[in-house]
Amino acid sequence: MLQRHANGEKKMLQAFFQAMEVYPDARIVTFDGLRLELAMLRARALTYRLAAPAPLVAATMGQPPHIDLRRALSAVHGEEAPHLEAVGAVLQLPDGTAAGLKTATIVSPVNINASFAGIYLSKAITVAALFLHHELYSERLDAAEHQSSCSNLRTAVQCLESRRQVPAGLAQQI
C-alpha cells in the first residue's frame, strides 16, 4: 500500500484516483477524515498536478460519497463524538493503537515509517469494523450481510497478521 521510492506517492494517488473513477458509487469512509486525510489527499494531488476526481472534491466538502463516522456519531448524540479509540473500546472493535503509540502526525504517506504504517493500518481496520456496525444500525445491511462482511474483513486482517503488518490477534476482535 505504501510505496517508499520517489514516485511512490504519485503512483499511489494515481491508482487511488483511478479506482474512484472505476467505482464511482463507492463511498469514502473516514473517522474525522475531513480534518486531515481528505485535505491531505487533495493537497498532495495539487503537489503532483493531478486532477482530483469529482468524488474526492465532493468528499472534501463533506458531501457524498464521503461518510465521516465521527460526524455521524456526533449527529446521533447531539455532541462531539469521542475519539476512535474510545468508540472502538465501547463497541469492542479492533484496537487502533495496538502497537502502543497513541498518535502520529503524517506530512506525506511516503514519510510513514513501518511502525506508524502499522498503526494507520490498525486504525483503518477499526474504521472498517465501525462502518460495518454503522451500516447494520442504519439498516443498510441486514444481520446476515453484516456477519458476512465482518467475516470477509476478519479474513483480510488474518492475512495482514500473517505478514506481520498488523499486531497478532487483531482479527479476533472483529
Q: Are 156 and 150 in contact (CB under 8 A)?
A: no
Half-sphere exposure of 54 (CA within 13 A, CB side): 5
* 91 vs 68 pLDDT, higher one: 68
pLDDT reported for residue 108: 44
Place of cell 456496525: 133
Mean pLDDT of 36-45: 85
* Pairing state between β 66-68 and 28-30: parallel
Domain ranges of the chain: 1-79, 82-174
H helices of the chain, in order, are 8-22, 37-47, 54-60, 69-77, 84-90, 114-137, 143-162
